[in-house]
């Protein structure tokens, strides 16, 4: 799929990988950006001529509102990139763990993606060829010790993506995943080494979409998947300590 003259939705497009996607895609496409920060969305609108929607993806009423508003002006959508995610690192056993983050994390990282996909499916069906691109993580394949809910949402997203792909076989819609390694974003500040830059992550994602790669293992995720196949105990122990 050539990413030119398309209508493309990017969630979480005000920072990190999402921002780099917006910068690249807005040069040749009509880009709709969903994000929480109104001032950052306005900056994107002025600088890149995108169409902004302020929406908190942990609030299903706002998710439904955004989908309805988009469909009113865009009955045809070519690409939906589900990029937004949040991650809370405290363990359940930690005094820092906040109970309310469970529902926030699940809704933002998983439920909102299922809902946006369903609600926007009629518009995706109107394109000659279209794609749903779910930005996932190597943690979907093997979890780490911290961020148990985050790891679970990514694992659920992997299962959802595969099942939805089966459902849409033979249709005009491809269901793709970009399996990300550790990327240098606000979410990962102070954690890990050897992180991929957001621009490299975004470029790898876009290259995968244009080349029709359904499960795009980016960076160190390629090694992780290989280890899981050959020596799973090594892979899971490695990720446990990540």
Q: Report the catalytic residues.
A: 150
63-98 pLDDT tens trace: 999 999 999 999 999 999 999 999 999 999 999 999
Question: How many CA atoms within 13 Å lie on the side-chain side of 14?
Answer: 19
Whether pTM > 0.85 for this model: the answer is yes
- Helix (H) or strand (E) run with residue 132 in it: strand 130-137
Q: Report the largest interatomic distance among the alpha carbons of the chain, rounded to a whole angstrom.
A: 52
Identify whether the C-beta of residue 181 lies closer than 8 Å to the C-beta of residue 196.
yes
pLDDT, residue 187, reads 67
* The pair of three-digit structure tokens given for residue 92, joined into one six-digit string: 């359940």
| Segment-wise mean pLDDT, segments of 10 residues, the chain, 242 residues | 97 97 98 97 97 98 98 98 96 95 98 98 98 98 96 98 98 98 76 82 98 97 97 94 80
Expressed in percent and rounded to 5, the helix, strand and coil fractions of the chain are 50, 15, 35
Q: In this structure, what are the phi and psi dihedrals at residue 99, rounded to the nearest 5 degrees?
A: -55, -40
**CA–CA gap between residue 5 and residue 230 (Å, rounded):** 42
- Helix (H) or strand (E) run with residue 215 in it: strand 215-217
What's the CATH architecture for 7-240?
Answer: 3-Layer(aba) Sandwich (3.40)
**CA–CA gap between residue 125 and residue 75 (Å, rounded):** 10
């Amino acid at each position: 799929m050539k990413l030119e003259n398309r209508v493309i939705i990017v969630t979480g497009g005000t920072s990190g990988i999402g921002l780099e996607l917006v910068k690249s895609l807005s040069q040749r496409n009509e880009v709709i950006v969903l994000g929480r920060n109104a001032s950052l969305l306005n900056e994107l609108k002025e600088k890149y001529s995108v169409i902004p929607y302020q929406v908190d993806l942990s609030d299903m009423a706002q998710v439904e509102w955004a989908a309805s508003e988009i469909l009113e002006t865009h009955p045809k959508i070519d690409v939906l990139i589900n990029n937004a995610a949040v991650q809370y690192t405290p363990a359940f056993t930690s005094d820092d763990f906040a109970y309310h983050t469970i529902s926030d994390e699940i809704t933002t990282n998983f439920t909102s993606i299922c809902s946006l996909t369903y609600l926007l499916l009629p518009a995706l069906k109107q394109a000659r060829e279209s794609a749903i691109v779910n930005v996932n993580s190597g943690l979907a394949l093997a979890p780490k010790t911290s961020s148990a809910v985050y790891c679970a949402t990514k694992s659920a997203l992997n299962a959802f993506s595969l099942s939805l792909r089966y459902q849409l076989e033979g249709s005009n819609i491809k269901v793709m995943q970009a399996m990300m390694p550790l990327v240098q974003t606000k979410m990962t500040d102070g954690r890990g080494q050897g992180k991929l830059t957001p621009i490299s992550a975004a470029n790898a994602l876009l290259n995968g979409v244009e080349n029709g790669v359904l499960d795009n293992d980016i960076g160190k995720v390629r090694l992780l998947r290989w280890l899981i196949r050959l020596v799973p105990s090594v892979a899971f122990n490695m990720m446990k300590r990540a």
